[in-house]
């Protein structure tokens, strides 16, 4: 039996008994399930800590095979998401992607930081939603070890400067010579390869370009193939 104080973001919650909830948290130490007792009572100090998107310092007490939330210092609820359906939907997509890939007992500090920053951008900046989601997906791929290949053709290995096709199955761009034989590949518009390279290099906060055209649909498909699950958006 031990107590653990840890930063967490609520990915999922499930009602349990009359007033309790089972929370699934993303923490830098991996995914953790914890029972939150009495949190559905309007007077509970854990009321807001037991909602999706809640981020804070959770105190978890482990005993008898499961963890219980004993208290939480709430840092953020990303409240503005509640008032904007499109941003809420994008945020829920990010939570679900983290839920699908993070594992219990497997450290994931980069994924935790990426999720926290991306939710912050969605809730508190005016940045275009597709840009935020595409930036999230690119870095999500990178932190999970399947960064797309952007500089060289995934079929023949030739260097590519201005590719027009991306092969989501094989995880990267195709050169003009290989382009004809791959019908599954998705089109890349001019500048999209450069956009992805720059965002991977410096992050979307430092790469504010006018008329951005991020390949968001292509990246959604790419990630779905990598994690072998189609996450609803
Ligand atoms: Zn090629």
Q: What is the pLDDT of residues 126-147, one digit of tens each?
A: 999 999 999 999 999 999 999 9
40-73 burial: b if 16+ Cβ within 10 Å, else e: beeeeebbebbbbbbbbebbbbeeeeebebeebe
Residue 172 CA to ligand 1 center (angstroms) comes to: 11
Residue 22 CA to ligand 1 center (angstroms) comes to: 49
pLDDT: is 117 or 184 the higher one? 117
Give, in words, the CATH class of 80-227: mainly alpha
Residue 172's nearest CA partner among 143, 192, 201 is 192
Record the tokens describing residue 91, joined without a space: 């945020």
1-11 burial: b if 16+ Cβ within 10 Å, else e: eeeeeebbbbb
Residue 154 CA to ligand 1 center (angstroms) comes to: 7
The answer, yes or no, to whether residue 1 has pLDDT greater than 70, is no
Query: Which fold, 2-76?
Result: OB fold (Dihydrolipoamide Acetyltransferase, E2P) (2.40.50)
Whether 2-76 and 80-227 share one fold: the answer is: no
Max Cα–Cα distance, the chain, nearest Å: 66
Residue 217 CA to ligand 1 center (angstroms) comes to: 23
Is residue 15 helix, strand or coil?
Answer: strand
pLDDT number for residue 75: 97
The answer, yes or no, to whether residue 182 has pLDDT greater than 80, is no
Contact criterion met (CB below 8 Å) for 129 and 86? yes
Q: In what order do the strands lie in the sheet with 165-167?
A: 172-174, 165-167, 186-187
Residue 178 CA to ligand 1 center (angstroms) comes to: 4
Name the residues around ion ligand 1, CB cutoff 5 A: 153, 155-156, 158, 175, 178
What are the residue ranges spanned by the domains of the chain? 2-76, 80-227
Residue 156 CA to ligand 1 center (angstroms) comes to: 4
Query: pTM for this one?
Result: 0.95
Q: What is the pLDDT of residues 154-178, one digit of tens each?
A: 999 999 998 999 999 899 999 988 8
Which sign does the torsion angle of CA 117, 120, 125, 129 carry?
Answer: positive
Contact criterion met (CB below 8 Å) for 54 and 123? no
Record the tokens describing residue 201, joined without a space: 């290099």
Record the tokens describing residue 20, joined without a space: 């309790």
Place of tokens 């290995």: 157
Phi-psi label, residue 55: left if phi above 0, alpha if psi -120 to 50, beta otherwise: beta
């Amino acid at each position: 039996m031990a107590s653990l104080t840890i930063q967490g973001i609520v990915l999922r919650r499930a009602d349990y008994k009359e007033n309790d909830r089972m929370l699934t948290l993303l923490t830098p130490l991996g995914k953790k399930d914890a029972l939150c007792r009495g949190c559905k009572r309007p007077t509970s100090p854990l009321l807001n800590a037991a909602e999706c998107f809640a981020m804070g310092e959770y105190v978890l007490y482990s005993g008898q095979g499961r963890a219980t939330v004993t208290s939480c210092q709430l840092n953020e609820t990303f409240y503005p998401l509640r008032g904007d359906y499109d941003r809420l939907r994008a945020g829920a997509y990010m939570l679900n992607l983290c839920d699908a890939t993070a594992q219990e007992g497997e450290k994931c500090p980069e994924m935790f930081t990426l999720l926290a920053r991306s939710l912050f951008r969605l809730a508190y900046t005016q940045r275009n939603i597709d840009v935020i989601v595409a930036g999230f997906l690119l870095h999500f791929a990178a932190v999970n070890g399947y960064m797309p290949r952007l500089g060289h053709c995934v079929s023949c290995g030739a260097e590519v400067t201005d590719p027009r096709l991306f092969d989501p199955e094989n995880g990267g761009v195709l050169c003009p010579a290989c382009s004809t034989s791959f019908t599954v590949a998705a089109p890349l518009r001019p500048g999209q390869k450069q956009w992805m390279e720059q965002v991977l290099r410096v992050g979307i906060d430092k790469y504010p370009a006018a008329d951005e055209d991020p390949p968001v649909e292509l990246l959604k498909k790419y990630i779905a193939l990598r994690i072998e699950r189609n996450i609803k958006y």
